[in-house]
Structure 1
Amino acid sequence: MTERQILLVKNSWSYVVINSQEAGELFYNRLFEVAPAVRSMFKHDQKEQARKLMNMVTLIVTKLQKLDDIMNEIKQLAQRHGKYGAQPQHYKVVGECLLWTLEQGLGDKWNDELQEAWTTVYITLSAAMIKGQLAAA
């Protein structure tokens, strides 16, 4: 991740946070639409799940310049996901749904450079989560 990509992600996330509950629900609606088989992994209320997602993404975005500070939390999150039944191949569809949600929420602020920045962040984090999940298996 470049400093510019980090800045782009942080700046764009500030717009998403304004409607974070709506963004979280939009994400899960999209996820369950494109990957209905994963719905059974989510036992909690969707609004609560959306809140947890937005809180975690907010934490990650605020720590992008110091990801090492939260890598233990990322590994623990990955291990919990593994217990719920998440598989490494699920991360791809989750990333696609996250990018779709951001594009919907940011509207005309969304562009190729922003998409590349978010993609880079997601690939970095999902790789760490997959590694953490596989190490715990």
Structure 2
Amino acid sequence: MAALFTEKDEALVKESWEIMKQNIPEYSLRFFTIILEIAPAAKNMFSFLRDSDEIPHNNPKLKAHAVKVFKMTCESAIQLREKGEVVVGETTLKYLGAIHLKNGVIDLHFEVVKQALLRTIEEATAEKWSEELKCAWGVAYDQLAAAIKAEMKEEAT
């Protein structure tokens, strides 16, 4: 599985992350907008969205969360190549498992986030978007999601 993430994939992910880093507030907002377009009920799963009728454009927690998701996906992908496995700080992975379990996250939710992530990256990278880039981020995200799901199972037992 890890072998699917090639040197070229790593270069593509890094390059597109550099593009997105230039406008994190815009892309984080877009990311959450797409999540809620696909699954409006997901709003209640995010503490920082629960109490508002719309996505708060200037919500620092929303921006921080989106940055975390993009960055973690990108970094875990790069580490996947270097170490052959998803490496997120041990406490972070345990924490992610616990918090996702607590918030009732299921497999379907991971798919929604993946779709939103890929659509956001597609918009951000514009003419640089390609099937290769989509696959590279897809593999990266799937690896991270699998690691979080494994922690959730661990946490649930």
Q: TM-score, normalised by structure 2?
A: 0.78
Which residue matches 2:13? 9
Which residue matches 2:139? 120
Whether 1:91 aligns to 2:101 is no
> Could you report, residue by residue, the CA deviation over 1:43-85 in whole angstroms, capped at 9, with x for unpaired residues?
2155312322213432442452255542522332132122122
1:51-62 equivalence runs, <5 A: 51-62=64-75
The whole-number CA distance in structure 2 between the counterparts of 1:89 and 1:13 is 25
Whether 1:36 aligns to 2:27 is no
Q: Which has the larger radius of gyration?
A: 2
Higher helix share: 1
Residue type of the alignment partner of 2:10: I
With over 3 angstroms needed to count, the CA separation of the structure-2 counterparts of 1:91 and 1:133, relative to structure 1, is same
Whether 1:24 aligns to 2:50 is no
Whether 1:133 aligns to 2:143 is no
Tell me, what secondary structure is at the counterpart of 2:105? Answer: coil
Number of corresponding residues: 137
The alignment yields a C-alpha RMSD, in angstroms, of 1.8
Q: TM-score, normalised by structure 1?
A: 0.89
Give the % identical residues: 30
Moved over 6 A (4+): none
Which residue matches 2:125? 106
**Of the candidates 77, 83, 88, which is equivalent to residue 70 of structure 1?**
88
